[in-house]
């Protein structure tokens, strides 16, 4: 995969992570929303965050979301500030989209904008028939992001704790 891979929307740039993102990634991992909804992305120290950043950077050499995560940073174009992440990960035999936006930037439509462009690219370029959005039932904000980005609630997948949304 090219080292220059990135996507742009009107307000955002989705780009590869860099080692210099460590401090911001660690800072965002400490937010309450991350601890609540994405607990595996809470890092107890910068060393753990560095391990994850290094793993994500190494994974850019071969993109296969059925085998390992492919995650990009979400950056504001106007000031080049990293404000979140978006990626694809294997979950059982599915590919799941995951995303998070820093709390101070939530509610501005950034997550929806990123999910929409990233999902369309991934489906086309990675030949994914379906991309899943798996959301805790109490996480209504994330469910709204998926719905606005074109995902549909799939009622055939029944789970007591989570809702499954598909992007076909």
Kindly report the pTM of this predicted structure: 0.90
Q: What is the DSSP letter of 61?
A: T
Query: What distance in Å separates the CA atoms of residue 103 and residue 106, rounded to the nearest whole number?
Result: 5
pLDDT digits (tens, 9 = 90+) for 22-43: 999 998 888 888 777 776 777 7
71: nearest Cα among 118, 105, 32, 112: 118
Q: Is 124 helix (H, G, I), strand (E, B) or coil?
A: helix
pLDDT digits (tens, 9 = 90+) for 129-143: 999 999 999 899 999
pLDDT digits (tens, 9 = 90+) for 79-131: 999 999 999 999 988 999 999 999 999 999 999 999 999 999 999 999 999 99
Element (H, E) at 102: none
What is the C-alpha radius of gyration for the chain, rounded to an integer number of angstroms? Answer: 15
* Contact status, residue 120 vs residue 12, Cβ threshold 8 Å: no
Query: What distance in Å separates the CA atoms of residue 146 and residue 136, rounded to the nearest whole number?
Result: 12
Looking at domain 6-167, its CATH superfamily turns out to be Gcn5-related N-acetyltransferase (GNAT) (3.40.630.30)
């Amino acid at each position: 995969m090219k080292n220059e891979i990135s996507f742009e929307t009107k307000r955002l740039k989705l780009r590869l992570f860099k080692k210099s993102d460590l401090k911001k990634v660690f800072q965002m991992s400490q937010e309450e929303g991350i601890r609540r909804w994405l607990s595996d992305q809470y890092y107890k120290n910068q060393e753990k965050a560095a391990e994850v950043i290094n793993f994500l950077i190494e994974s850019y050499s071969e993109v296969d979301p059925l085998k390992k995560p492919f995650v990009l940073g979400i950056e504001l174009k106007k000031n080049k500030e990293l404000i979140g992440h978006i990626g694809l990960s294997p979950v059982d035999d599915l590919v799941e989209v995951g995303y998070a936006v820093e709390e101070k930037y939530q509610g501005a439509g950034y997550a929806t904008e990123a999910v929409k462009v990233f999902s369309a690219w991934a489906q086309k370029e990675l030949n994914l028939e379906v991309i899943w959005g798996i959301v805790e039932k109490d996480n209504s904000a994330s469910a709204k992001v998926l719905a606005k980005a074109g995902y549909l609630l799939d009622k055939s997948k029944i789970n007591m704790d989570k809702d499954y949304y598909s992007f076909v």
